[in-house]
């Protein structure tokens, strides 16, 4: 017997008033219980629109969305209780402390605050020292930690992380992922993640879907996506201008050039030598998820 999907998107369509193009076009896929799933796409691809519909903040024009079999429109209360959402925006109540905020969040779901679980969340997210501080006193990174705690305080079996580490420090990223990965592994919590940090998605997600202009253009296991683009990548550093016609991805001083085989590598190096381009820290490696992403979505940044 097939398990009920943790999340189901079925032929979801959405067009905003006044927009010339639809935000979502016939998007369908399931996320089974216990999966760590990555939803990727360039800005404007439809990721936040899809999550807003899942969370009940927006309605699809057509299609159906379910959380563990509960329709997010027809059975909204049940669907919402099963879901924890960490939004992109730093939304908070300025009148309460961190601990009070988590207690009130439980009340929104008709639950009595579980003090032991709140204490565990505060500890695991590095918030114990700020537990009695007013939300207004917190830094942006600390507010982001509270948003994660709020999403988890009612112990939902499904959590949605919408750019949870955008603009935050490395310590929070490591702390957050260690805790979320533990919930996923030990408690079977289903995780839907959107992120601009593709190395996070590659490391954490067992399966990945990619959106482009509101359409689902890729859906596969992370390992399969990488294996299907098995070309090599030539990486090096330089301060020089590259020769015209040499297709490369440049990030600061770091240059990455696709190479299908040894002959490609030799040809690229020969062009660099003939153009007198000095290079440092030369290495040859396999394509990573960012290479795959750029190939599939046509060069648009995540």
Residue at 151 is within a domain = yes
Tell whether 35 and 64 lie within a shared domain.
yes
Tell whether 238 and 278 lie within a shared domain.
yes
Mean pLDDT of the chain: 87
Bigger pLDDT: 80 vs 1:
80
Tell whether 221 and 259 lie within a shared domain.
no
How many domains are there within the chain?
Answer: 2
171 and 137 Cβ atoms separated by less than 8 Å: no
Tell whether 23 and 127 lie within a shared domain.
yes
Residue at 77 is within a domain = yes
pLDDT tens digits, one per residue of 256-302: 887 777 787 888 888 888 888 888 888 877 777 877 887 788 655 55
> Does pLDDT of 56 surpass 60?
yes
264 and 216 Cβ atoms separated by less than 8 Å: no
Residue at 296 is within a domain = no
3-state secondary structure of 40: strand
Tell whether 144 and 260 lie within a shared domain.
no
> Does pLDDT of 159 surpass 90?
yes
Tell whether 186 and 91 lie within a shared domain.
yes
Residue at 294 is within a domain = no
Residue at 1 is within a domain = no
- CATH number where 138 lies: 3.40.50.300
Angstrom distance (rounded) from CA 5 to CA 104: 30
Please report the pLDDT score of residue 4 as a whole number: 93
Tell whether 141 and 105 lie within a shared domain.
yes
Query: Angle at the Cα of 262 (from 257 to 264), degrees rounded to 5?
Result: 45
pLDDT tens digits, one per residue of 203-235: 999 999 999 999 999 999 998 888 776 567 888
Q: Point out the domain boundary residue: 203, 226, 249.
A: 226
Residues 6+ apart with CB under 8 A from 144: 90, 164, 165, 168, 172
Residue 241, domain extent? 231-286
Tell whether 41 and 188 lie within a shared domain.
yes
Residue at 299 is within a domain = no
Please report the pLDDT score of residue 1 as a whole number: 53
130: DSSP letter: G
3-state secondary structure of 187: coil
Q: What is the pTM of this model?
A: 0.82
Please report the pLDDT score of residue 175 as a whole number: 84
Q: Point out the domain boundary residue: 183, 198, 226.
A: 226
Residue at 267 is within a domain = yes
Whole-Å CA distances, 179 to 189, 209, 231, 245, 248: 11, 23, 34, 46, 37
Tell whether 166 and 137 lie within a shared domain.
yes
Tell whether 72 and 16 lie within a shared domain.
yes
Instruction: Give the H or E element holding residue 185.
Output: helix 170-186
Tell whether 46 and 175 lie within a shared domain.
yes
Residues 6+ apart with CB under 8 A from 187: none
Tell whether 84 and 142 lie within a shared domain.
yes
Residue at 2 is within a domain = no
The bridge status of strand 36-40 relative to strand 207-212 is parallel
């Amino acid at each position: 017997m097939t398990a009920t999907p943790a999340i189901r998107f079925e032929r979801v369509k959405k067009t905003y008033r006044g927009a010339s193009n639809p935000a979502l076009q016939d998007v369908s896929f399931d996320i089974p219980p216990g999966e760590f799933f990555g939803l990727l796409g360039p800005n404007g691809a439809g990721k936040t629109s899809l999550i807003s519909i899942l969370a009940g903040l927006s309605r699809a024009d057509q299609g159906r969305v379910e959380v563990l079999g509960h329709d997010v429109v027809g059975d909204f209360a049940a669907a919402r209780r099963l879901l924890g959402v960490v939004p992109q925006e730093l939304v908070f109540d300025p009148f309460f402390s961190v601990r009070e905020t988590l207690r009130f969040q439980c009340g929104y779901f008709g639950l009595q605050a579980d003090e032991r679980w709140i204490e565990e969340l505060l500890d695991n997210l590095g918030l114990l020292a700020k537990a009695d501080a007013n939300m207004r006193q917190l830094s942006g990174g600390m507010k982001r930690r509270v948003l994660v705690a709020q999403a988890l305080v009612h112990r939902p079996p499904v959590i949605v992380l919408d750019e949870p580490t955008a603009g935050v420090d490395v310590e929070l990223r490591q702390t957050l992922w260690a805790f979320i990965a533990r919930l996923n592994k030990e408690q079977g919590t289903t995780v839907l993640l959107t992120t601009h940090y593709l190395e996070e998605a590659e490391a954490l997600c067992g399966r990945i879907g990619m959106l482009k202009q509101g359409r689902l253009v890729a859906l596969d296991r992370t390992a399969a996506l990488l294996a299907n683009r098995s070309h090599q990548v030539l990486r090096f550093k330089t301060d020089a201008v590259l020769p015209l016609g040499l297709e490369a991805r440049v990030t600061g001083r770091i240059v990455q050039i696709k190479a299908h085989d040894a002959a490609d590598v030799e040809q690229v190096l020969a062009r660099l030598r003939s153009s007198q381009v000095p290079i440092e820290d030369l290495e040859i490696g396999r394509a990573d998820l960012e290479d795959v992403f750029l190939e599939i979505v046509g060069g648009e940044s995540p």
